[in-house]
Chain A
Amino acid sequence: MSTSDDPYALLPLTPVVLHILLALTDERQGRHGYAVAREVEELTDGRIRMGPGTLYGSIQRMLDASLIEEAQRVKKPRTQPDDDDRRRYYRITTLGRRVLELEVSRLAEVVSIARRKQLLRPEPA
């Protein structure tokens, strides 16, 4: 994947990359890998269930393309055994957000065309 800053060069996104970005979009602190996979599973009702190879392969490509970055977590006292500071957290970058917006509006356009062709029922009011 190119490391170019041109967001258009990265479109269209693969479904996995798209969903990872969606899963990260509302979490400023970032999420760790397993939490990303869980979030994607929940958002898609379990239809996209990633294995570790798919997940981390995508994360690596997205890091390379600067769509996401490792987040600096604010150090806080360890309260839960689960809250391990060795964990890496990933968060969406400005470029990532821009690419996601472009991709989503591209998809919205596709949907509106499909609707005009009456492939979809009109959106409920």
Chain B
Amino acid sequence: MRSNPARGERLFRALLLLYPRSFRDRFMDEMLEFFRARCDEARKQRGAYGLARLWMHLVADIAVNAPLQHVRAFRSTSARELPWASPFYPEESHPMDVLRQDIRYALRSMARHPAFAIIAALTLALGIGANTAIFSVVDAVLLRPLPWPDPDRLVMVYGARGTQRQNSAVYLDYKDWRDQSNSFQELGVVRGQSVNLTGGENPDRLTGTFTTASTFRLLGASAFQGRLFTDAETEVSSKEPVAVITESLWRTRFGSRSDMLGRTMVLNGQPFTVVGIMRPDFQAPLFTPDVWMPIGYYPNKGDLETRGRAGVLVFGKLKENVGVARAQADLDAITERLADLYPTTNAGTSANVQPLKEQIVGQTRTPLLIVLVSVGIVLLIACANVANLQLARATARRRELSVRAALGAGRKRLMRQLLTESLALSVVGGLAGLGIAYLGVAWLSKVVPNILPFFGTIALDRGVLAFAAFVTLATGIVFGIAPAWQASRADMQEALTVRGDTGSAIRLRARSALVMGQLALCVVLVVSAVLLTRSLVALSAVKPGFDPEQLLTLQFRLPAVKYDADAKIVDMFDRTIEEIRAVPGVAHASLVRATPLNGNGETFPYEMEGSRGVEPDKLPSAHRNIVSTEYFETMNIPRLAGRDFTAEDRATSVTVVIVNTQLASKIAPQGSAIGKRLRLLDGDSAKWATVVGVVGNAKHFQLNETQLDQVYVPYSQKPLIFTEVVVRTNGNPMRVANAVRSAIWRVDPDQPVWRIRPVTQSIDLQLDGRRFTMRLLASFALLAVLLATIGVYGVMSYAVARRTQEMGIRMALGARNTQVVGMVLRQGLRTIGIALVIGLGASFGATRLLESQLFGVEATDPLTFAAVPVALALVGLAACYLPARRASRVDPVVALRAE
């Protein structure tokens, strides 16, 4: 938007108009030169972001300094005698005096018409306050740079295979990338997993990240006490179990004890030496854990030593002057070589380099911009309302302005006076708006952190305040310019001599145009809000394939050191599930690797028997879940054919799977899938498994996902230390939570469990982001309709008042009340009709931007596009009805005598 330097310079020149003329004459050229130099600098260093930041800085700088210069200029002339006594003054009087006069006059005029001033200022306050509050979120999430050094050089490197572009990466591939590439200053890996902390009073679960020393370096992390890891410590072969903890863990869990460094923590059953405490303000991208450990201590160490086993996230810092494209080309060459070297695991795989900022905020950009644009529209509508009020008042003030013109005030002078009044009004509105913004920010900073990724805080800081100041001034100019221009054009002679209302025809047209604009913008907002609401409704109505009511879920993970053999895990799980099923109030219970919609889960490529010759990278993928017996009963997923897993499915028996109907119909398009075989490539010992059952389709990751192929595996044949528990209860699921936890502790008292919650809550969490956008948009739409209704009412009242005489004559000549009402309504309907048509046209364009946010409803949904205008027309007509009824009650005698 600001890529055009000439436009930027014009804007800056306009800003300089805030200075007194004497200052401008002296320094304008130099300031322009300064501005150009800063622009070049900003563009070179930070691109569009730098420019945006520069503008914020400029606006704040000038908004603060320009008034000071006025004060100075005023002081240096204050000795002169000022013509306070006379309301009129010659054009050549000092600009500062004029400004003072105008401001005094504006304040007096507000005081004389308090109702007008209050309504106008409140309208503006709502608009400015809402915009400022929303901008504080946009600033925190989108505009502020990431909190690490050289944020523009930070990237994520994903593993890619076919159309899947954002897989986690394989550790051994990462090592090759790191050793062979020359585009990166650093490459580091991260693997997050919770860890069990024991050895204290209670077993506890901490969030943990297994990482490398290079990750800390590229994020500019540093220790608050002690040190971070060395490169040697984070080699997989390292035998140094060391840990770095966060400052908050040190404070909360260890009471800030001074002898923390060198102490031992037992994590996942293994002692780690604490070598450092992270500085308190450090935030890791995506997620900040309680404790960092070297990557080599990741519990499933096999993942780090086997090609083809993905699971790590790779972060990188590009060398100076290396772009993402060059880094991508660099890695492409390496991944091609790897594919040749290790065809069984690496054929068809590649790397995908993405800017980190994009990965963190990319998803949120569209919804945030939608919200920002809608709140901007509300402000425009508010401006139109105030402009309307100003125009109405201009009629009343026509004589006053004409008198002033007759006494020698030039047209420019009058315009300036009126603009000052508008600006004074907008400043009052802006100040009140800050109050509203303060409340808005307080609310948003509570709600937003659960929904959007951002670092730092949402606050009314300098940037946001500069934005509020800018919006306030812009608002004053936007709603002030039309009335000022109109009023200054008034023909003074006509105004002084004729008492008629000739100028008002033009004014009515201007006001109708404003109202049409308002209504058209309303249509856009309401249509958008309705589409988002319908999406949310559609999404909430999605059948997940199971019954989420009365389901409780919780998670736990066994320490690998203690449960070091498959048989031990299976035994622990068998006993645990037995204990849980015995808990009163539990109808069904089962273990599952990942409860649907709870965030966990994996997909793997699979092959079907008899479909040989498919390239490894063209294989279809299926979602794999590892479950116990009775899982489908617990979830209420219908079993359609074959059998459930039983206690007889053991490690030594035939390998079996259950598939969903979608996969079953692929395995056996006609006939039954039971007895057919497929192989899931989920590890190095992938075995052919026989399908023994078919169950209904279920959603797993997202409610709006396209249905996945699903494969269920019994845990007895694929024991993992990580599991979740799902329990179907007879009443409120949280009521049995404690009993279920105790049941687990009866099997292993050292076992921490976490994320205990009803499944319905997981679904709510999925919908929260959309609900947030939808609610904001709906409230803006409502506000817009309210403001536009007031606008329509105002204009129609004005139109009716103007035609009082005509109405009187018509009624004197025998027109009935209903005819007069009809006439006024027809006039209103014409304005409304035109506005709605324009608004519908604009909506067709605008809702395209919404497309990515919609679910289950088209961006051009005919029902919405038909219903919204009808509803708005009805609201508009209602707003016309009151003035129309008033017109019909006109007493002909009074109306005719008026002139």
Contact = CB atoms under 8 A, between A and B. Distances in A.
B68 A52 contact: no
Contact of B30 (A49, A50, A57, A88): A88
Contacts of B34: 33-34, 37, 52, 55-56
Contacts of B826: none
A86 B29 contact: yes
A53 B66 contact: yes
B103 interface: no
Given A57-B68, A57-B69, A52 B23 contact: no
User: Which of the listed residues A32, A56, A59 has the most CB atoms from chain B within 10 Å of its own CB?
Assistant: A56
Nearest to A51: B61
Contacts of A50: 61
A49 B462 CA distance: 15
User: Which of the listed residues A51, A52, A88 has the most CB atoms from chain B within 10 Å of its own CB?
Assistant: A52
Interface string B30-74: 110111011000000000000000000110111011101100000
A37 B30 CA distance: 12
A87 interface: yes
A72 interface: no
Nearest to B65: A53
A54 B34 CA distance: 12
A29 interface: no
B62 A34 contact: no
A56 B31 contact: yes
A88 B28 CA distance: 12
A57 B37 contact: no
A56 B37 CA distance: 15
A56 B27 contact: yes
Contact of B62 (A37, A51, A86, A88): A51
A54 B38 CA distance: 14
B68 to A, nearest CB: 6
B26 interface: yes
A60 interface: yes
Contacts of B62: 51-53
Contact of A53 (B26, B37, B38, B64): B64
B155 to A, nearest CB: 25
Given A34-B34, A37-B34, A57-B69, A52 B58 contact: yes
Nearest to B62: A53
A55 B57 CA distance: 13
A54 B29 CA distance: 16
Interface in A29-57: 32-34, 37, 49-57
Contacts of A32: 30, 33
Contact of B33 (A54, A60, A87): A87
Interface residues of A, number: 18
B30 A56 contact: yes
Interface string A81-102: 0000011100000000000000
A120 to B, nearest CB: 22
Contact of B61 (A34, A54, A60, A88): A54
A51 B58 contact: yes
Contacts of B29: 86
B53 to A, nearest CB: 11
A83 to B, nearest CB: 13
A74 B31 CA distance: 23
A87 B34 CA distance: 11
A49 B50 CA distance: 14
Contacts of A56: 23, 27, 30-31, 34
Nearest to A1: B72
Nearest to B69: A57
Given A52-B35, A53-B66, A57-B68, A33 B30 contact: yes
A74 to B, nearest CB: 20
A106 B57 CA distance: 32
Contacts of A54: 61, 64-65
Nearest to A35: B37
Nearest to A88: B30
Nearest to A53: B65
Contact of A57 (B33, B38, B57, B65): B65
A60 B37 contact: no
Nearest to B12: A52
B23 A60 contact: yes
Nearest to B26: A60
Nearest to A56: B27
Contacts of B58: 51-52
B314 to A, nearest CB: 32
Nearest to B19: A53
Nearest to A84: B33
A37 B31 CA distance: 12
A49 B26 CA distance: 23
A51 B27 contact: no
A39 B828 CA distance: 64
A52 B58 CA distance: 7
A49 B45 CA distance: 15
B57 A51 contact: yes
A14 B31 CA distance: 21
Contacts of A55: 34
A51 B34 CA distance: 9
Contact of B60 (A34, A51, A59, A86): A51
Contacts of B69: 57, 60
A57 B67 CA distance: 11
B56 to A, nearest CB: 10
Contacts of B65: 51, 53-54, 57
Contacts of B68: 57
B33 A34 contact: yes
User: Which of the listed residues B31, B34, B62, B66 has the most CB atoms from chain A within 10 Å of its own CB?
Assistant: B34
B499 to A, nearest CB: 49
B469 to A, nearest CB: 13
A56 B68 CA distance: 12
A52 B26 contact: no
Interface string A1-39: 000000000000000000000000000000011100100
A34 B64 contact: no
Contacts of A88: 30
Which A-B residue pairs are the 10 nearest by beta carbons?
A51-B61, A53-B65, A53-B61, A52-B31, A56-B27, A53-B62, A52-B34, A34-B37, A57-B65, A34-B34
Given A37-B34, A51-B65, A52-B58, 18 more contacts: A32-B33, A33-B30, A33-B31, A33-B33, A34-B37, A49-B57, A51-B58, A52-B35, A52-B38, A52-B62, A53-B61, A53-B62, A53-B64, A53-B65, A54-B64, A55-B34, A86-B29, A87-B30
22 contacts: A32-B33, A33-B34, A34-B33, A34-B37, A51-B57, A51-B65, A52-B34, A52-B58, A52-B62, A53-B61, A53-B62, A53-B66, A54-B64, A55-B34, A56-B23, A56-B30, A56-B34, A57-B68, A57-B69, A60-B26, A60-B27, A88-B30
